[in-house]
Amino acid sequence: MAARGSKFFIKTYGCQMNERDSEQVAVALTERGYAAADREADADIVLLNTCSVRDMAEQKAIARMQSLQGRKRRNPALIIGFMGCMAQSRGGELAKLAPQVDLIVGTQKYHKVADYVDRLLARRNPDMDDLRGAIVDIAEEPGSQNAIKDHPPMVSRATAFVSIMQGCNMRCAFCIVPFTRGAERSRPIADIVSEARALAAGGVKEITLLGQIVNQYGRHEFPAVSGRTPFTQLLYALEEIDGLERIRFTSPHPIGYKRDLLQAFRELPKLCEHIHLPLQSGSDRILKAMRRAYTAGQYRRLVADIRAARPDMAITTDIIVGFPGETDADYDATRRLVEEVRFDNAFIFRYSERRGTPAAALPDQVAGEVRDFRNKDLLGVIDVIAADHAAALLGRTVEILVEGPSRTKASRSAGRTRTNKPVIISGGAELRGKIIPVKITDHTNFTFYGEPV
């Protein structure tokens, strides 16, 4: 039972999967009687859902927690905790970095957070002396992928994330995710379809399927049927749900694009014309060192096949610059491929050493100033390409799903095109959840402005 009036605040770092995990914790806490605080300063329970993909994300979370400790010294009743990937990878070490932390919960134990918060509040009872010190739970738990299935009932919305699997078996040389999320584990198709049907019945028009390598869903648990992989079977099943208008997924791996998935893009109207297709490097030598299991040539051919299946496809990507051993020639190969593919957008990352990963032990680590230069240079290339894409939309009428109010002006609403372009329009809350035609009247490189037609 929640303490009377106790409020919680969750700060989320990192990817959409972390956002979805935070939703799950919020549901559990709300069902126990805790209330969500609008501001961290108003909360009695502050939880940081952490990311370990890059060092910067870890440092931000640690700095935030150390700041919270000052507040806890003034108010010892405050409960503070780490969740997620950094909690999983560092465990009890975080209690040394932040000695006043109360809770450290790994990626397979989000469904236990409400229980642990109850126990922490019970420490006010003198009979609970056995609970002194931080609660640390980073153990593996079989079936944890099936625990993420509830959505906050108190939020009216047009879109939702649906987690379909956890973990990753790819073992890319730079990536810590297999260590923080564990091995691949997939939920049954029937459970996912049931969740999506309930969301559609509640007014959700668009779902985004989440997985570390989402298009490898079910490959260990479920058989192919009539030439369709489990992931494609799932897409066809979701297509049949009344009220659901759009389907997206992230993040895939290039090797997961089989012929049946390309055919799904030809046949499924609800499958949106946007994919996020991580490249990481345009150099075959670096791709091999990264353990990415494809070449630049294979990536080019895949892009051509995708655009043949859906000519109006928008493609975004991830790229790492400054991977150990990357020469100027390697970087130039990446730059040329970016200019050739003409991505709609790209997340460009300076290589960040992750302890325990194979890449951290490689020789020829690239100097920081070289990583910085390549990062800025490639961002400049992407900006030029994005400006061209944006200019091509000016004056056109596109379909958007209105998701809610604009962040900056209540008299405006924000939505996205099927190609995942953000669009700001005039109009208020009455437009939420509607799919409407909009004429594009202005733009920055990555945000568009329009008027309902």
* pLDDT tens-digit map of 172-200: 999 988 888 889 999 999 999 999 999 99
User: Does 222 score more than 60 pLDDT?
Assistant: yes
What pLDDT score was predicted for residue 128?
39
Say whether pLDDT at 330 is over 60: yes
Radius of gyration of the chain (CA): 23
State the pLDDT confidence band at 357, using cuts at 50, 70 and 90: very high
Q: Is 322 left (phi over 0), alpha (psi -120 to 50) or beta?
A: left
Residue 58, pLDDT > 50, answer: yes
Confidence of residue 154 (pLDDT cuts 50, 70, 90): very low
pLDDT for 179 equals 86
- At 268-315, the pLDDT tens digits run 999 999 999 999 999 999 999 999 999 999 999 999 999 999 999 999
Least trusted range by pLDDT, from 33-42, 149-158, 236-245, 410-419: 149-158
> Which comes out higher in pLDDT, residue 406 or 155?
406
Residue 428 has pLDDT above 90, yes or no: no
Helix axes 259-267, 296-309, angle to 10 degrees: 30
What pLDDT, on a 0 to 100 scale, did the predictor assign at position 150?
55
**What is the pLDDT at residue 129?**
38
pLDDT band of 124, cuts 50, 70, 90? low
Band of pLDDT at residue 250, cut at 50, 70 and 90? very high
pLDDT of the residue at 424: 96
Whole-number percent of the chain with pLDDT over 70: 95
CB 51 within 8 A of CB 75: no
Question: Among 146-150, 245-249, 282-286, which is the least confidently predicted range?
Answer: 146-150
CB contact burial 187-216 (16+ within 10 A = b; e otherwise): bbbeebbebbbebbeeebbbbbbbbbbbbb
List all residues 6 or more positions away from 253 whose beta carbon is below 8 Å from its beta carbon. Answer: 170, 213, 215, 216, 278
Give the chain's domains with CATH numbers: 7-137 (3.40.50.12160), 144-392 (3.80.30.20), 397-452 (2.40.50.140)
Residue 4 pLDDT class (50, 70, 90 cuts): low
Q: Quick check: 130 pLDDT over 70?
A: no
Work out the burial of residue 115: count CB atoms within 10 Å of its CB; fewer than 13 is exposed, 13-18 middle, 19 or more buried.
middle
In the predicted model, is pLDDT for residue 421 greater than 80?
A: yes
Identify the pLDDT of residue 149.
Answer: 60
Percent of the chain with pLDDT over 90: 79
The reported pLDDT for the residue numbered 117 is 95
Q: Is the pLDDT of residue 153 over 50?
A: no
- Over residues 44-64, the mean pLDDT reads 91
SS3 label, residue 80: strand
Instruction: Report the pLDDT value the prediction gives residue 146, as an integer from 0 to 100.
Output: 73
Q: How far is CA 342 from the centre of its chain?
A: 23
Average pLDDT in the chain: 92
- pLDDT greater than 80 at residue 143: no
pLDDT band at 443; cut points 50, 70, 90: very high
Question: Which of 92-96, 235-239, 339-343, 390-394 shows the lowest per-residue confidence on average (mean pLDDT)?
Answer: 92-96
Is 17 in contact with 52 (CB distance < 8 Å)? no
pLDDT at residue 131 in the model: 43
Tokens of 77: 């009743």
Amino acid 3: pLDDT: 58
Output the six-digit token pair for 248.
Answer: 């997206």
